[in-house]
Amino acid sequence: MEMRDMFLLLLFLMLIDPVAVAQNQPLPPSPAAQSANALWQAQKWEEAAKAYESLTRSEPNNGQAWFRLGSSLMSLQNFNAAAAPLAKAAEILQGPQAYYALGAAYARTGNKAKSFESLRRAAETGFAQFQRMRTDPHLAGLRDDAQFGSLMEAVEKNARPCQFSPQAKQLDFWVGHWDVQVSGQSVGTNVIERQEEGCLIMENWSGRGGSSGRSMNFFNPATNKWRQTYIGNNEAIWEMSGEYKDGVMSYEGEMFAPRGAPVMVRVKFYNLSPDRVRHTQDNSTDGGKTWTNVWDATYVRKKEAATK
């Protein structure tokens, strides 16, 4: 059977069998859930708690209902009663917010062991609200415990992963205010900044001849590679990936000009010293058979910027 015929058959079956479509769509909340949610949004905690308690009896696998029942009870400061529905929510949802709320409930009841266990599960599943954990009054009884410091570090790593990643810091030697020189003559300036909590290295190039451009540089932990995307005011674009090894950041990729075919490029940044970086580029127009050097510049750190 040809591909077109198979597609038409599948389309026909879906049209005559709406259940096949419905099974792939999330079910809308029940009227009882909608009523409970309205009370939750209005912060009518006592009424919301009663509505969610009823909802969990009719919908025992509704993790959100269990979570909001427990949270409503927390808002009513009925901490002992809140722990059980929050434990059920954590069992069903297995997510960071549910584990965190359960840890807060246990902290309020004085059960430090279970509180730290739940908060660790929150961190392990990606809880990243570092400031919330630092100031949450529910956790006041835990902050003098030595375990709290290590827990805070784990949450901060979730919130600011690049601050703790050696790979994300490999291009830090390029950060700074630079005078860019070719054969000893200044050809422009480049300001390189760490942004987004250290996850992004942003380049801001300004050439003396009027050229300018910016690049975004970042380490992708999924590919274990660095990535640079550069665009200039002349619409020239560099798309490259690479790695840092032995003091050199080596990028490879392509350069795209407004006119003409893409050009293969190799770009390297050499960490010469704290105040000097070498930047080279080689091009290939024959598919990588031969390479020609087209750029060899030295970055000299500006003294006034270095002393700030």
Domain ranges, residue 199:
167-306
Residues 130, 116 share a domain: yes
Last residue of a domain, which of 112, 132, 164? 164
**Could you tell me the CATH number of the domain that includes residue 234?**
2.40.128.20
Last residue of a domain, which of 148, 164, 180? 164
Would you state the pLDDT for residue 18?
40
Q: What is the pLDDT of residues 60-110, one digit of tens each?
A: 999 999 999 999 999 999 999 999 999 999 999 999 999 999 999 999 999
Q: What is the pLDDT of residues 2-13, one digit of tens each?
A: 544 444 444 433
How many helices and strands (H and E) does the chain possess?
11, 10
Share above pLDDT 70 across residues of the chain, in percent, rounded to a whole number: 90
Q: How far is CA 4 from CA 8, 14, 21, 260, in A?
A: 6, 16, 20, 38
Residues 298, 270 share a domain: yes
Residues 197, 115 share a domain: no
**Could you tell me the CATH number of the domain that includes residue 19?**
1.25.40.10
Would you state the pLDDT for residue 28?
87
The pair of three-digit structure tokens given for residue 186, joined into one six-digit string: 């200044």
Residues 196, 302 share a domain: yes
Residues 195, 159 share a domain: no
CA–CA distance, 70 with 49 (Å, rounded to integer)? 8
Residues 208, 143 share a domain: no
CA–CA distance, 10 with 284 (Å, rounded to integer)? 48
CB atoms within 10 A of CB 133: 25
Residues 182, 104 share a domain: no
CB atoms within 10 A of CB 237: 18
Q: Is the sign of the CA dihedral 15, 21, 23, 28 positive or negative?
A: negative
Give residue 305's pLDDT band: very low, low, confident or very high (50, 70, 90): low
| 74 close to 105: Cβ distance less than 8 angstroms | yes
Residues 27, 120 share a domain: yes
Residues 177, 220 share a domain: yes
The structural domain count of the chain equals 2
Nearest-CA neighbor of 300 among 262, 267, 272? 272
The pair of three-digit structure tokens given for residue 243, joined into one six-digit string: 């790695």
